[in-house]
Amino acid sequence: MNPKVVAVAGATGVVGQQMLKVLEDRDYPIKSLKLLASARSKGKTIQFKGEDVVVEELTENSFKGVDVALFSAGGGTSKKFAPFAAKDGCVVVDNSSAWRMDPDVPLVVPEVNPDAVKKHKGIIANPNCSTIQMVVVLKPLHDAATIKRVVVATYQAVSGGGINAINEMYEQIDAMLAGKEPQCKEFPYPIAFNVLPQIPGSNAYTDNGYTSEEMKMVNETKKILGDDSVRVTATTVRVPVHTGHSESVNVETEKKLTADQARDILSKAPGVVVQDDPANQIFPHALDAHGKYDTFVGRIREDVSHPSALDMWVVSDNLLKGAALNTIQIAELL
């Protein structure tokens, strides 16, 4: 792979920092690196491969001479600046929701639909974190037995809400342990010692009563699998976990799969690790997934309420496979 001029937009954020770590860990071939952020971060320095790189302000002219731009700066920023990058001949891999359902923009998970990258017109979308880890597991099952319906409930870490959400959780924990009233800014109610069935925060709900996060999982799954006949329903929940999304997934298939068959299929799937020995307390959990690139699946069992359905538990680091890693994997495909 020829060395590339790479820009990271949103370099000072939680996911931007993870992108830099993954670029370094995977030794992505970089000729030169531009770090871009808002005006308030201009002039800050961030270390990359032992050298200080100065953060520049993100502008319409930031992408001249850039080969690949990795965006993690929010949907509004991506909508505004990604077209300027594409116009300058740069390929954008965007981590926000801004372009995901645009019919002209590929929505890519490299283990699932790598060929979709070839259809890009300057912008490629990175899916929602909770969708990514689910479709990595669904794809091999879909290929083997044709999925008809998916019912998923997520247990999503606060890091998915950014650094302010992380800080609020710890501040609330400290306050409550000290017998004080917790303060809520990022969440409508305390997230410390609590479970909130609403992601994102304000303006979360769509006209059908689902949250936008839930509808992302519904619509993105169909687009990534390339199959609109797959029915998906989701309930997305925020839990007081730092990093690592967990999901309870029920999958109905046309062809019956036994639990043993599913384990065998998934054990051979790229990016998937089966951890499924409940008798010995072996199953995926968020703490163990933290900092790891794989998606973990366990508690695989045949649904006692349906003749051709499976239940399983899926866990992944939402900042890595759910965001930064998937973005860099797409850049590697380019």
Q: Answer yes or no: is pLDDT of 202 > 70.
A: no
Task: Report the CATH number that the domain containing residue 48 is assigned in CATH.
Answer: 3.40.50.720
Q: For 20-67, how does the pLDDT look when each residue is reduced to its tens digit (9 = 90+)?
A: 999 999 999 999 999 999 999 999 999 999 999 999 999 999 999 999
Distance CA 161, CA 237 (A): 12
Q: Answer yes or no: is pLDDT of 203 > 80.
A: no
Q: Which two tokens stand for residue 172?
A: 């609330």
164 with 281, same domain: the answer is yes
Based on the residue annotation, tell me whether 245 is a catalytic residue of this protein: yes
Active-site hit among 90, 120, 142, 245 = 245
142 with 266, same domain: the answer is yes
Task: Report the CATH number that the domain containing residue 247 is assigned in CATH.
Answer: 3.30.360.10
Model pLDDT, residue 2: 87
236 with 254, same domain: the answer is yes
151 with 22, same domain: the answer is no
Q: For 191-200, how does the pLDDT look when each residue is reduced to its tens digit (9 = 90+)?
A: 999 999 999 8
Q: Which two tokens stand for residue 108?
A: 């890519």
Max CA separation in the chain (angstroms): 61
16 with 59, same domain: the answer is yes
Distance CA 163, CA 175 (A): 18
How many domains, in total, are found in the chain?
2
141 with 172, same domain: the answer is yes
101 with 239, same domain: the answer is no
Name every residue whose Cβ is closer than 8 Å to that of residue 305 and which is 6 or more positions away in sequence: none
265 with 122, same domain: the answer is no
Model pLDDT, residue 200: 84
Based on the residue annotation, tell me whether 129 is a catalytic residue of this protein: yes
114 with 69, same domain: the answer is yes
290 with 143, same domain: the answer is yes
213 with 309, same domain: the answer is yes
Q: Answer yes or no: is pLDDT of 160 > 80.
A: yes
Enclosing domain of residue 8: 4-127+324-333
Active-site hit among 90, 120, 129, 290 = 129
- The average pLDDT across 176-199 equals 97
For residue 201, name the pLDDT band (cuts at 50, 70, 90): confident
Q: For 87-122, how does the pLDDT look when each residue is reduced to its tens digit (9 = 90+)?
A: 999 999 999 999 999 999 999 999 999 999 999 999
Can you say whether the dihedral through the CA atoms of 118, 124, 125, 127 is positive or negative?
A: positive
169 with 228, same domain: the answer is yes
